[in-house]
Amino acid sequence: MFLQVTIGCLALLVVGSALEEHPHFCIDTEPLLLSEIDRHVVIPTERDLQCHIKATTLTLKEKASLVDTLCADHGSTTVRRDNHHFLRLRNGELSGRGSQSDICDNNASSVLSWVPYDTVLKYYAPELNPKERLTYIAKATNVEREKTELCHFRHTDLVNAVSDNLFTCVVMIFGDNFYGLEDNINVLVELEPLMHQLRNITYLPWRNVTNSYKMQLGESMLRNAGSEKKPIYGSINYAFVEKIHLNVSSVYQDRHLARLPLLLEHRSSVLQLDENGVGGIDVEEKAYFGRSMDPRSEVKVQVIGQWVDQHRQFSADIYEYYGHGLKRYRQPMSGGQVTFVRIDNTEPVFSAPESNNLVKASLFRDSKASKLKDGSTGNFTEWENTQEDPDDEESGFYGWFVVTSLLVAFVVVLGIYVIIRRQHRKNGQRQQYNLANTNVPAPA
């Protein structure tokens, strides 16, 4: 199965290449507990060593507390007047910043996460403008007091890498409480989706098929080595590239849906399409065939298939994909249109039966069959064998017999004719002689 715009700082390759996810960026969906934070001896796993940047998503309880703290009226005009900020990350790269009002407007519906302060200081602070006067939302955890609170720290502390004795993270509601770098500080970030994923696809009954040219998929040989006529079956494995063209405008009908590259769930895998909705997938299939065959015979088989364009309509669920296996349901869609260019209508083509074993019942000499077994490498049929054998003396006997019989019959008929003609002449002369003697007078 189954995928492939550079946006801001995102290094995402499309058109023929797979989605390149940041190799050192990881997303966790389970937060650390206070007891885990307090561990002094931690054995890092292979994944921990690889993940230089680790974002941990907020739980539902944390989101509710965040919205309540930032957006609810707690009787403090200071909090309501403040507009703190957060960082936006896409594929582990800094893509922009958002404000407190953005969270309140969408009720924290985006994917919010925590990133450790030292990670933000190392990877993202150099990209920020030191002259800006902003504050960023964070949370501070004090293990000794077993307490976690929302706070905010200054932009200048981040870009100037202020040391821990000068760094302060001021608690949101009670502005006289402070946390330092000796506490566990995590910065609020928003993760942006990399792609939209189409899953749970249901194809509608409507389907339009356009037939194209045929091609050879493979060839094989069927052999019947037995002494009886019977059906013989075989199969051929063949491979082709199935091309997919998704009508992108049929997916992005909702103007509120950001236009991102698409992942399509197809053939039990997830296929990456480019920004035009075009992609492909390697497909391996098997074609079965068979026929009834004479004893001790064989036949060559070629399997051909026809290219077809299948135009389909479908409905699906749209998911937002954030990388490293994290996806989130966004909304349903209907009226999608996709065209599959694939091989269909496979069929076998049998060549003329060939054999190198002619022991079966025949009117022709067995010596010919043995010669075919011993040394002949060509392809012969029984008719060709009778025509191309110059050493077969009996092949012309019947013709000579007929000619000789005709000649003998002709000679016999001719002899009979001559004998009858001679006999007829003798009888004629005898009659003339008897008539001549009738004038002689009778003796006295």
Q: Do 152 and 211 belong to one domain?
A: no
Residue 213 belongs to some domain of the structure: yes
End-of-domain residue from the set 191, 220, 242: 191
Supply the DSSP string of 60-79, one letter for each residue: HHHHHHHHHHHHS--S-HHH
Q: Do 234 and 315 belong to one domain?
A: yes
CA dihedral of residues 370, 374, 376, 379 (deg, nearest 10):
60
Q: Do 210 and 178 belong to one domain?
A: no
Q: Do 253 and 336 belong to one domain?
A: yes
Q: Do 187 and 200 belong to one domain?
A: no
pLDDT (tens digit per residue) in 94-104:
999 999 999 99
Q: Do 246 and 184 belong to one domain?
A: no
Q: Do 150 and 289 belong to one domain?
A: no
| DSSP code at position 48 | H
Residue 359 belongs to some domain of the structure: no
Q: Do 342 and 230 belong to one domain?
A: yes
End-of-domain residue from the set 191, 219, 246: 191
Looking at every residue in the chain, the average pLDDT score rounds to: 79
User: What integer is the mean pLDDT of 36-63?
Assistant: 75
Q: Do 33 and 169 belong to one domain?
A: yes
Q: Please report which confidence band the pLDDT of residue 147 belongs to, taking 50, 70 and 90 as the band edges.
A: confident
Residue 184 belongs to some domain of the structure: yes
Residue 31 belongs to some domain of the structure: yes
Residue 5 belongs to some domain of the structure: no
The β-bridge partners of 295 are none
End-of-domain residue from the set 191, 224, 248: 191
Residue 8, φ and ψ in degrees, nearest 5:
65, -125
Q: Do 135 and 208 belong to one domain?
A: no
Residue 398 belongs to some domain of the structure: no
pTM: 0.65
Residue 236 belongs to some domain of the structure: yes
Domain, as residue range, for 218 = 195-350
Q: Please report which confidence band the pLDDT of residue 84 belongs to, taking 50, 70 and 90 as the band edges.
A: very high
Contacting residues for 265 by C-beta, under 8 A, at least 6 apart = 1, 2, 197, 198, 199, 200, 201, 271, 316
Residue 397 belongs to some domain of the structure: no
**Residue whose C-alpha is closest to residue 154's, from 75, 84, 250:** 84
Contacting residues for 391 by C-beta, under 8 A, at least 6 apart = none
pLDDT (tens digit per residue) in 367-404:
443 443 444 444 333 333 334 444 444 555 667 888 88
Side chain identity at residue 116, one-letter code = P
Q: Residue 441: its pLDDT value, please?
A: 54
Residue 289: CATH number of its domain: 2.170.15.10
Q: Please report which confidence band the pLDDT of residue 366 belongs to, taking 50, 70 and 90 as the band edges.
A: very low
Q: Do 84 and 213 belong to one domain?
A: no
Alpha carbons 399 and 397: distance in angstroms, whole number:
5
User: Is residue 75 a contact partner of residue 69, using CB atoms and an 8 Å limit?
Assistant: no
Q: Do 285 and 142 belong to one domain?
A: no
Task: Please state the domain count of the chain.
Answer: 2
Alpha carbons 92 and 115: distance in angstroms, whole number:
11
